[in-house]
Chains A and B, each alone.
Chain A
């Protein structure tokens, strides 16, 4: 069993790799491989797509690696592998992003990525820190994760889904902010499970065991 963490020069994969390695040991989930090579994605049993920074920069970053995006779409679609997007890696699952410019996403989970505009103008953007989840849909990846559990967020844009049941959890920040999305073999977290202590490690373990 091999889980590939996709490295396309978007931020820091060190903490993600360490968190996945630890939970893979604990759940006997095999090997964690950090790679930018499409052939590694093709040979993967599970795929994790992280992403920090801006949506257009992440899309351009992916395109900078020949064949990588094709291999990811293949993994998500025809091969239907368990797939986890983190932060901008989740946002790229949407239909389109509106950060600086309108950029197409993978359109796996119909929805749009837009700037957070809290109803209370005193609330800061980025939304940075620990916020408590409101879980609205059950999912195997959320086993043992409940409403009230905290996760670590850092982002200025958020994903709104067209189909309400695609959203599993949200947080309150001057309005609803999407925290977890899922459809079929794909799941995404706006927060960073690798920095979210107990709750995040639990979600990672669940993902490594998940057989959609």
Chain B
């Protein structure tokens, strides 16, 4: 049976983890490679790096980081942040990424998803969607780190992204991100039910029950979280045990 994935996400800037990862046995909490290795050993199902500055100048740092991480971890690695072109995808895949995530660039030009999927296959193209509630059961896309309103309906855009060739949607609720109040479940469910491809729920996890709800009520195929793992509030193993106890199929090895 296919298992629900837990994906820790590391915000990276200039080759360092922002905010740091608080594991007891970590010598350098700011080193993304060491954090990745710790999550690999802890049984994370995938890993996500988000390049939060993503300026042209620091691209090289990111490629080097991806290469060093891919040498240390034998699990899928997704890279997002500042990905604009098919060429960016190629460079990140060559550096060692397994999947590459588009965000603002796909909203500006959804066909970039098709061009990238034609070239490299849908399996490695993720479309990240940042959505905010604008009315009850109505969500809109916000780009540029959630600052810019687009007026585009999130569910309709997710459907378009899947049609264009995205293999997966990374769905972040901007209302919930950083609040520890739990995923935006109606949004997650609306997108997951509308699409034939997997949806990763993101934004707002504060407790292990939130992870459970993302799957049982939100119908996500995977859950992404940052702070509850980075700050040592919970381990990956605790999260998996809690979700398994709630009846969700998890990989426990």
Chain A residues engaging chain B, CB cutoff 8 angstroms: 11-12, 14-15, 18-19, 52-54, 57, 123-132, 149-150, 152-156, 171-173, 194-201
Contacts and interface: CB of A to CB of B under 8 A. Distances in A.
Contacts of A155: 123
Given A11-B121, A14-B93, A53-B120, 8 more contacts: A12-B97, A14-B70, A15-B77, A124-B196, A125-B197, A130-B5, A150-B253, A195-B75
Contacts of B168: 128
Interface in B55-114: 67, 70-71, 74-77, 93-98
B2 A126 contact: no
Contact of B3 (A15, A126, A129, A154): A129
A52 B123 CA distance: 8
B32 interface: no
Nearest to B250: A130
Interface of B: 1-5, 40, 45, 67, 70-71, 74-77, 93-98, 120-124, 167-168, 195-198, 221-222, 251, 253
B188 to A, nearest CB: 14
Nearest to B66: A14
B120 to A, nearest CB: 6
A125 to B, nearest CB: 6
Contacts of B222: 129
Q: Which 7 A-B pairs have the closest CB atoms?
A: A53-B121, A14-B96, A154-B123, A12-B93, A130-B251, A130-B3, A150-B251
Contacts of B5: 129-130
Nearest to B168: A128
B173 to A, nearest CB: 20
Contacts of B221: 124, 128-129
A150 B74 contact: no
Given A152-B76, A195-B76, A15 B2 contact: no
Contact of B123 (A15, A126, A171, A198): A126
